[in-house]
Amino acid sequence: MENGKAASQHNSNGQKRQSAQFADQQVTLGEGGETHQVAGNGTPVLTTQQGVPVADDQNSLKVGSRGPTALEDFHFREKIFHFDHERIPERVVHARGYGAHGYFELYESLSDITSADIFQRPGEKTPAFVRFSTVAGNKGSADLARDVRGFAVKLYTKEGNWDIVGNNIPVFFIQDAIKFPDLIHAAKQEPDRGFPQAQTAHDNFWDFASLMPESMHMIMWIMSDRTIPRSFRFMEGFGVHTFRLVNAEGKSTFVKFHWKPKLGMQSVVWNEALKINGADPDFHRRDLWDAIKMGDYPEWELGLQLFDEDFAEKFDFDVLDATKLIPEEVVPVRRVGRLVLDRCVDNFFAETEQVAFCTQNIVPGIDFTNDPLLQGRNFSYLDTQLKRLGGPNFTHIPINAPKCPFLNFQQDGHMAMTNPKGRANYEPNSWGAQGGPRESPKGYHSYPAEESGPKLRIRPESFADHYSQARQFYISQTPVEQDHIARALIFELSKVETPAIRMRIVSHLLNIDEELAQQVGDGLGLKQLPKPAEAAKPTRKDLKESPALSILKNSPNSFKGRKIGVVLTDGSDMALLQALKKAVKEEGALLEIIAPKVGGVTASDGTWVEAKQKINGGPSVLYDAVVLLPSKEGAKLLSMESTARDFVADAFAHMKFIGYVESAMPLLEKACIADSLDEACIALKDGADTTKFVEACRQVRFWERASKVHAV
Ligand code: HDD
């Protein structure tokens, strides 16, 4: 006995350890139907990776009660060894993401334009996995970073996996994949200091952008509200590049892919985004998880813009240039099916982290074009999966494996899980039916486009116009959205320390829109505007507005899928609350209760109402609209609570609809908005008012208030 201490067995809490009682029972668990031994309390028995039952998982094996740990402790070594190796490299871009399962359902046969199996039979469902992401931030960064969102879709078709690895923006920063490492280095944290995290608001990014005029169209998009979406459910997705669809006769049609959200588009405002990041850095992933768990399945329609060589020849821009789009008013989007996400992952690592999207994953009937960005991506994705997932057999991981049969002679390698059987591991062979798989004429054929020309490192002349579509995007926005673009530019550039970089960006803005350049120059306090940047193509085309590019011009006029935060206190009017709940439910929206204490409140009729959030944990930025239902006493209490005052003041500043009862006035006064109440602040007297309130919320925001809340 070392130091005379008794060697009784205790767990980490110092309590006497219950010795595991093993019953003679067995339990069947999991889809695999494995049987497990059952411990006394009905749970399965803990085992090592080798299946050895573990009797003590609280203490390592020691020599004496206070002596050194024995190297012999195989359970300890296995456990620690495995823990030490839990992490894999995070994605070099799009590290932070969130995925879900679902399906794609086809509306109409597209056999006239493509032989792709997925597009043949109306009503057929194809399993899908989707991962949404931010680009620049690390895995642990916050969801509401101002950033492009990745929208990557894996479709497990009957003729192989097809990945559409897109974004929520239809254009890109650069035209040639060779610039991708520079773009990403510039956007991510600066290498010496390791910050800023998940932000482009720093010198390196804007320095690079200012020297790459081809990024200007994308700059307009990323400074718009597209980069602060309300949630993944409220944003569009785009395949970005021009692809080809090829039919059974070998005829090719060009295509651009779109995902249109059923709930319509919606974004938050910047000040809200900043605060959401503090209040709930997982805001977007929680939203997706909650919606699916509640059975309110997020849905998008797949849209196709189809066009032929002739159109491509005549179009103002090169369809191989990923910094350009084709306005929907020029080539309409044909909706051909829907994507529904109806199942959360069982395990984040196994599915969301290990899913490996590759632009090279296409199927018969679909083909690439010569877009130099796409061509480069086809190398990068396969390559990066090797690094991330540790070997060429990442396709054997269930989330990556096709759901159709697959057979080939690729073999061995680390962690090979699906191994060919039989003698033949090569072809041709003369083993007949025993000789394994063979090619089929129905297999993948590349579209036989004619290509020839000298080898050159050159940017085609047809890629040279960097400002016309940037301007088109800007003039297609509502004044509110234009104002947000200007404010975003001023914010980002205000974080740039080098005046020359700010000046260079303004010199590009002058080529896009003079008023915008003026406004930004003014916001930055520039004494004088610079000269417009010299353009590769000096004449900018004056393109028509494209209303499809605006979020607000395409408002859904519905509050479906949105969330109202209701502040209650003891004594809150139960009848009003019930009426509000009914109206919200009828709209297909959600209601969450916020109270001084998370336990809940006793309402006017004595009923106990449970709360979801405590007032300082559920700020109004987490809701699309708010309702203040405190009793007189409750309002007095809340008016002395700074987080309650912030709740109200922020809802007002973020232009939200506010429903309130008369007794809430002291709180509105303390939040300094009692004198500024406008038509989006709606007094609720009886049940009918609650319906009117929810109907008013369909506008989502009361933009007219903007001038009252922004003086600077
Ligand atoms: Fe990329 C990931 C989207 C250009 C190289 N990209 C990645 C993801 C999305 C996109 C959504 C995350 C996939 C996931 O959830 O796992 N990328 C795009 C779009 C682009 C684009 C829409 C332009 C139209 N990407 C692009 C270029 C290159 C890459 C030009 C390199 C030449 N992208 C990668 C990568 C990543 C990636 C390094 C990192 C993790 C991964 O691939 O799986 O290979």
Tell which of 84, 116, 151 closes a domain.
84
Q: Is the pLDDT of residue 74 over 70?
A: yes
540 is in an annotated binding site: no
Statement to judge: residues 73 and 101 lie in one domain: no
660 is in an annotated binding site: no
- Residue whose Cα lies nearest atom 22 of ligand 1: it is 166
In a domain? residue 212 = no
Q: Using the atom order of ligand 1, give the atom closest to the CA of residue 94.
A: 12
In a domain? residue 234 = yes
Give the torsion through C-alpha atoms of 484, 489, 491, 495, to 10 deg: 170
Distance 135 CA to ligand 1 centre (A): 9
pLDDT tens for 351-362 read: 999 999 999 999
Q: Which of 551, 499, 553, 537 is nearest to 216 (CA)?
A: 537
Task: Provide the pLDDT for residue 84.
Answer: 98
What residues act catalytically? 94, 167
Q: What is the mean pLDDT of residues 310-314?
A: 98
Q: Is the pLDDT of residue 5 over 80?
A: no
Statement to judge: residues 153 and 252 lie in one domain: yes
Task: Provide the pLDDT for residue 35.
Answer: 73
- Residue whose Cα lies nearest atom 7 of ligand 1: it is 94
In a domain? residue 249 = yes
Which of the listed residues 139, 374, 381, 385 should we mutate to test ligand 1's pocket, taking the one with most ligand atoms within 8 A of CB?
Answer: 381
In a domain? residue 318 = yes
Task: Provide the pLDDT for residue 28.
Answer: 61
- Residues 6+ positions from 519 with CB-CB distance below 8 Å: 486, 490
What is the identity of the amino acid at 507? S
Which of the listed residues 377, 382, 394 should we mutate to test ligand 1's pocket, taking the one with most ligand atoms within 8 A of CB?
Answer: 377
Statement to judge: residues 531 and 494 lie in one domain: yes
Q: In whole angstroms, what is the distance from residue 232 CA to residue 360 CA?
A: 25
Statement to judge: residues 515 and 603 lie in one domain: no
pLDDT tens for 520-567 read: 999 999 999 999 999 888 888 999 999 999 999 999 999 999 999 999
Statement to judge: residues 539 and 664 lie in one domain: no
Q: DSSP class of residue 498?
A: -
Q: In whole angstroms, what is the distance from residue 710 CA to residue 712 CA?
A: 6
**Any idea what the CATH number is for the domain that residue 248 is in?**
2.40.180.10
Would you give the distance in Å from CA 143 to the centre of its chain?
Answer: 8
Q: In whole angstroms, what is the distance from residue 522 CA to residue 649 CA?
A: 28
pLDDT tens for 554-609 read: 999 999 999 999 999 999 999 999 999 999 999 999 999 999 999 999 999 999 99
297 is in an annotated binding site: no
Distance 107 CA to ligand 1 centre (A): 29
Distance 150 CA to ligand 1 centre (A): 8
Statement to judge: residues 169 and 132 lie in one domain: yes
**Any idea what the CATH number is for the domain that residue 515 is in?**
1.20.1370.20
Distance 693 CA to ligand 1 centre (A): 43
Task: Provide the pLDDT for residue 30.
Answer: 52
Task: Provide the pLDDT for residue 26.
Answer: 64
Pocket of ligand 1 (CB under 6 A): 91-94, 97, 131, 133, 150, 152, 165-167, 172, 177, 180, 240, 322, 355, 357, 373, 376-377, 380-381, 384
Take residue 576 and report the two structure tokens written for it: 């009003």
Q: What is the pTM of this model?
A: 0.95
**Any idea what the CATH number is for the domain that residue 15 is in?**
4.10.91.20
Statement to judge: residues 112 and 133 lie in one domain: yes
**Any idea what the CATH number is for the domain that residue 621 is in?**
3.40.50.880
Statement to judge: residues 374 and 239 lie in one domain: yes
Q: Is the pLDDT of residue 33 over 50?
A: yes
Task: Provide the pLDDT for residue 29.
Answer: 58
Tell which of 513, 536, 553 closes a domain.
553
Q: Is the pLDDT of residue 125 over 80?
A: yes
Which of the listed residues 90, 91, 139 should we mutate to test ligand 1's pocket, taking the one with most ligand atoms within 8 A of CB?
Answer: 91
Q: Is the pLDDT of residue 2 over 60?
A: no
Statement to judge: residues 284 and 381 lie in one domain: yes
Strand ranges in 30-87 using DSSP code E only, listed in sequence order: 34-39
180 is in an annotated binding site: yes
pLDDT tens for 240-289 read: 999 999 999 999 999 999 999 999 999 999 999 999 999 999 999 999 99
In a domain? residue 477 = yes
Statement to judge: residues 11 and 148 lie in one domain: no
Domain hosting residue 58, numbered range: 7-84
Q: In whole angstroms, what is the distance from residue 219 CA to residue 704 CA?
A: 26
Statement to judge: residues 549 and 566 lie in one domain: no
Domain count, the chain: 4
In a domain? residue 1 = no
| pLDDT tier, 709 (very low <50, low <70, confident <90, very high otherwise) | confident
208 is in an annotated binding site: no
ipTM of the complex, rounded to two decimals: 0.99
Distance 91 CA to ligand 1 centre (A): 9
Statement to judge: residues 126 and 251 lie in one domain: yes
Of 600 and 25, the structure prediction assigns the larger pLDDT to 600
Which of the residue ranges 32-41, 277-286, 507-516 would you say has the lowest mean pLDDT?
32-41
Tell which of 553, 571, 587 closes a domain.
553
